[in-house]
Structure formats: structure tokens, C-alpha cells
């Protein structure tokens, strides 16, 4: 594996994002919706950096399964979503790759009549985008490589790494 983003840089960026989000949502009812499973690490760090009262919920969205390195069909499990009617919603995911997963989640969230919906991601593969939408908040733009760590996995491994690394040919 080749390290792309060190743990200290991630923590600094997450703190910066948390301050920015707090400033922009101050005085408004905020619900943070984390996208499982990859987004759980970012969600837990980010909500501690947002100095506001907020609610937290989760949604399970999947497009990569097992040893897949390219996205497939998107499935959503919405059982863990709280009531978001008349609240501002921030959907938090690990990576904006093609954008299809975050777009599907946001489209579903909009059916619950929130005041607003925005997206936040740690990583953004700008050149892979397949939709006409961009995340409102992001930590780092990265090249089109398969990454693991800080919640991201390959075959359900490497999520616990505190840094982000690119898998190299022999790692698959």
C-alpha cells in the first residue's frame, strides 16, 4: 500500500470541516446522516468537531461488495434513519467516487421533507464523477486510485487504518 493522506492531516481537515459546518448551521436544527459502513469513522470524528446540538442517524448504502473494485448496483437500507422532516440534513460519506451512491441517498432523504440536504465526504475523486452534482463539503481531492483506511475497505479489511492508502497491484 502507498500512503496518500496521513492521520494527522485527516484529523486537521475534519476539525476544519466541523468548524465550517457549525458556522453555517448555527441556529438551525441539524441532523447528520452517516452512510454505513465506510462513513462511520468520519461521522464519529466529524460530529465531535461540530459545536452544535445535532441529531445523528445512519443509512446503509452499498455499491461495492467483497473484492469488487468498481461499483455495482446501489442498495439502500433506511431502517436507522431518524425523523428528518423540517430539519437540515447533512449526509456524510467516506468518498465521492462516481457520485451515484451519495446521489441515491440524497434523493431518498429528500422524500422525507427536510428543510435542506447537503453532502460531506472525506475524499473526492473528481475525475470519476458520473452525475451533475458535487459534495458541499469535502476534505481532500484524490487521484483515481482504489483507497483504503479511515473507514474505507477492500474485502471488509483495512477500515481501521488511521490514514488513507492506495492499494497497489499486489495488494488485491
Per-residue three-class SS string for the chain: CEEEECHHHHHHHHHHHHHHHHHHHCCCCEEEEEEECCCHHHHHHHHHHCCCCEEEEEEEEECCCCCCCCCCCCEEECCCCCCCCCCEEEEEEEEECCCHHHHHHHHHHHCCCCCEEEEEEEEECHHHCCCCCCCCEEEEECCCCCEEECCECECCECCCCCCEEECCHHHC
**Is-catalytic flag, 9?**
no
Catalytic residue among 45, 93, 94, 97: 97
**What is the set of active-site residues?**
97
Amino acid at each position: 500500500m502507498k500512503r496518500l493522506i496521513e492521520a494527522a492531516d485527516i484529523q486537521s481537515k475534519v476539525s476544519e470541516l466541523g468548524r465550517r459546518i457549525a458556522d453555517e448551521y448555527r441556529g438551525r436544527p441539524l441532523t447528520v446522516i452517516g452512510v454505513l459502513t465506510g462513513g462511520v469513522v468520519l461521522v464519529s470524528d466529524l460530529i465531535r468537531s461540530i459545536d452544535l446540538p445535532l441529531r445523528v442517524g445512519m443509512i446503509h448504502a452499498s455499491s461495492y461488495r467483497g473484492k469488487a473494485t468498481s461499483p455495482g448496483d446501489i442498495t439502500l437500507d433506511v431502517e436507522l434513519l431518524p425523523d428528518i422532516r423540517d430539519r437540515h440534513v447533512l449526509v456524510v460519506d467516506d468518498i465521492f467516487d462516481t457520485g451515484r451512491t451519495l446521489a441515491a441517498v440524497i434523493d431518498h432523504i429528500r422524500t422525507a421533507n427536510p428543510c435542506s440536504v447537503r453532502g460531506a465526504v472525506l475524499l473526492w475523486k473528481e475525475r470519476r464523477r458520473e452525475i451533475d452534482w458535487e459534495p458541499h463539503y469535502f476534505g481532500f481531492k484524490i487521484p483515481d486510485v482504489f483507497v483504503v483506511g479511515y473507514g474505507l475497505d477492500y474485502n471488509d479489511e483495512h477500515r481501521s487504518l488511521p490514514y488513507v492508502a492506495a492499494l497497489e497491484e499486489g495488494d488485491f
